[in-house]
Chains A and B, each alone.
Chain A
Amino acid sequence: MQRRTLLKLGLASAVVLAVAGGAVALMQPGLQNGKLSEGARLIFARAGETILAGTLPTDEGPKQIAINSLLDRIEAFIAGTPEHVQAELSQLLGLLNTAAGRRGVVGLSPDWHEASVGEIATAFQTMRVSSVSLRVQAYQGLHDIVSASYFSGQESWAVLGYPGPRAI
């Protein structure tokens, strides 16, 4: 069942699944009762650090607060999506949380904990322009969810110079 649904993610995803091999059978869902699993939180935290590099606070403490806030907003966003979107995201995050999925889809050798932002950025850039649809779809999914969720937070508006809603 999981395998069949994953194949819908993209025509060329069979190639990635072949690389991922038996890992699919061991996959844990990325969402559990609508909440991000520990592995999925780590993926979004590292994706957030990479995608928002240059935008997030540079000091470690404020940066961590911003990332935690981002993760909360991502969770709230996902809770509002239809069941099919949640199922697909859960499977994608589950796949990216396996070593084979991380290597096959993201192209990242070190695990999500150990990889530097530079290594993740290099992997994301390759995903972004890949000829394998699933890799581009996965990149765009991470990018759009991270970017949209971050800038939905009022505290990010100062970076943008956005004054917020006009008083009426």
Chain B
Amino acid sequence: MSSLPDPIQEGLARGWKVLGGAHGALPASITCDVAIIGSGAGAGITAELLTKAGLKVVIIEEGQLKSSKDFKQREPEAYASLYQEAAGRQTKDKGITILQGRSVGGTTTVNWTSSFRTPPATLKYWQEKFGLTDYTPEALAPYFKQAEERLNIAPWQTDPNENNELLRRGAAKLGIKAEVIPRNVKGCYNLGSCGMGCPVNAKQSMLVTTIPFALDGGATLLVETRAEKFDISNGRVQGLSCIAVKPNAAPVNANGVATQIVAKHYVLAGGSINSPALLLRSKAPDPHKQLGTRTFLHPVAITTAIMANAVKAWDGAPQSIYSDHYLNTQAIDGPIGFKLEVAPLHPVFFGANLPGFGEKQAQLFRQYPNANVMLALMRDGFHDQAVGGKVELRSSGAPLLDYPLTDYVLEGARRSMLAMAEIQFEAGAKTVYPGHEMGEGTTTWLETKAAINALPMKPLLTKIGSAHVMGGCGLAADDKRGVTRPDGVHWQLENLSIHDGSLFPTSIGANPQLSIYGNVNRLAQGLAQRLTNKAVSLV
């Protein structure tokens, strides 16, 4: 038994109102001031601020409530209980696998802690193309600063592990700038298991910060509860139907609504696939056919290197070094830009991402301690061949993202693989494998360059993943270009706000968690002011 404090167990013991699953049956109906759908980055910030303003808040989360005692640093349990679709969520053609969180805290419970403000170039594009004139670095700065202070976000002070250091070393040899990543941690043990939930509560996720704050302030949390449908009439949300779900998202009862929630205001913060899906299921007004469109992923291309020396990529802070060289040295609307980072490698993640099978795969497995997987996060949404995907509904009402990989994006995969392989060789790689079904391991940069240039870049053949979902309910200055007003309110539904990554009219071009925290911080403060006439802030 761990002797570490467990803030969730302690909170439950002092009387938090949590229902659903093993915590107790859902009541037939609930009335509140604000119903918040989701418990991730946007939901947590909103819950804290609205509770602080004295509002009666109900938080609705489809996943389970887990805590540090449940986080055993073991992949199978973590993927099954903390991720959407058991970490196997895929786009419609199965061309992209999406890692997205699904438990209290949402993706913030399982992400790798990288925290970046929205880049000024991204905001400039939003101002110019979507009329978001108030989305400037200066206007947002105080809200980012508060979020950084509240969540302990600061550049990582400890030396990077070898997995990250080799990115810095290889980049330096090529004259490419690489920098330290800000992380949201307090008392970090440098374990490397952030993706399986933090067993020491060091990661300042929503699970251990804003959600406990809201619950201590009297908010109610419904878990294992899916927001199924809004009842909409007269330009307003009149109610929200929820159902109880099993850990794999199947309904507990085949027939019927478990609970009906009536609120004065609703905040949708289920993430960029589930939020549009709830609006689609609810047949929300969508006069300009914007809903669910422009959903972005930062499609990620990879190269795997076997380094001359041990890397032990499972150990230590997962991400602490990045390079924006290939974002900052070219036009935002030119060939697709990409951010470079590395991936922590645990056995299941490594096994599922390895190219090939049989003896060739076995050779790679045996060199696991020396392996490095580099990531290129491609900045989608800034070019007419990078319009992202569209959220659809399956016949069951479950969401499905159709994200066709265009030649433009796939050429970005090729360019990024070239960039990554060159850095890996400079850093001491013996062999590099492009993430491609036809890719073979090659042992020199020139040989690898030729091999990558010869690969046919096609969906499925080119291995593409993603851990960032953005857009689908985009912000815009008018209803023809987006779903959500600049103040976060739905263009056609006056008592519905959207407070999550689905707001973003393009991808961010950086890991999006701090962008969600900062932007939603401003929107939620505005909402609290409108609902209560009180000024609240995160710090």
Query: Do the two chains belong together in a single complex?
Result: yes
Interface residues of A: mostly helix, strand, loop or mixed? Answer: helix
> Which residue from B351, B362, B438 sits with its C-beta under 8 Å from A148?
B351
In whole angstroms, what is the CA distance A80 to B346 when docked? 20
In whole angstroms, what is the CA distance A85 to B88 when docked? 9
In whole angstroms, what is the CA distance A84 to B396 when docked? 8
Q: Which of A14-22, A24-32, A101-109, A156-164 contacts B (4 or more CB under 8 A)?
A: A156-164
Contact with B along A128-168 (1 / 0, CB 8 A): 11000100110011011001101110001101111001101
Size band of the interface chain A makes with B:
35 or more
B250 in contact with A82 (CB, 8 Å)? yes
Residues in A with CB closer than 8 Å to B461 are 129, 136
> Which residue from A55, A124, A159, A168 sits with its C-beta under 8 Å from B191?
A168
Size band of the interface chain B makes with A:
35 or more
Residue B359 interfacial (CB < 8 Å)? yes
Residue A50 interfacial (CB < 8 Å)? yes
In whole angstroms, what is the CA distance A150 to B80 when docked? 15
Which residue of the partner chain B has the closest CB to A159?
B365
Residues in B with CB closer than 8 Å to A136 are 437, 460-461
Asked, given contacts A55-B365, A84-B396, A151-B350, whether A143 binds B93 with beta carbons under 8 Å apart, the answer is no
B368 in contact with A166 (CB, 8 Å)? no
Residue A83 interfacial (CB < 8 Å)? yes
Q: Which of B71-79, B150-158, B235-243 contacts A (4 or more CB under 8 A)?
A: B71-79
- Looking at A11, A77, A84, A151, the one whose CB has the most chain B CB atoms below 10 A away is A151
A165 in contact with B354 (CB, 8 Å)? no
Asked, given contacts A81-B85, A166-B191, whether A53 binds B362 with beta carbons under 8 Å apart, the answer is yes
- Looking at B74, B88, B315, B363, the one whose CB has the most chain A CB atoms below 10 A away is B88
Given A160-B368, A166-B315, 6 extra CB contacts under 8 A: A10-B93, A51-B358, A136-B437, A151-B348, A152-B348, A160-B366
18 contacts between A and B (CB under 8 A): A51-B358, A54-B361, A55-B361, A80-B81, A80-B247, A83-B248, A83-B249, A121-B357, A124-B357, A133-B459, A140-B94, A147-B351, A147-B352, A151-B347, A152-B75, A162-B314, A166-B192, A168-B191
Which B positions have Cβ atoms within 8 angstroms of A?
Answer: 2, 4, 72-76, 80-81, 85-86, 88, 93-94, 189, 191-193, 199-200, 247-250, 314-315, 346-348, 350-352, 354, 357-359, 361-363, 365-366, 368-369, 394, 396, 398, 437-438, 459-461
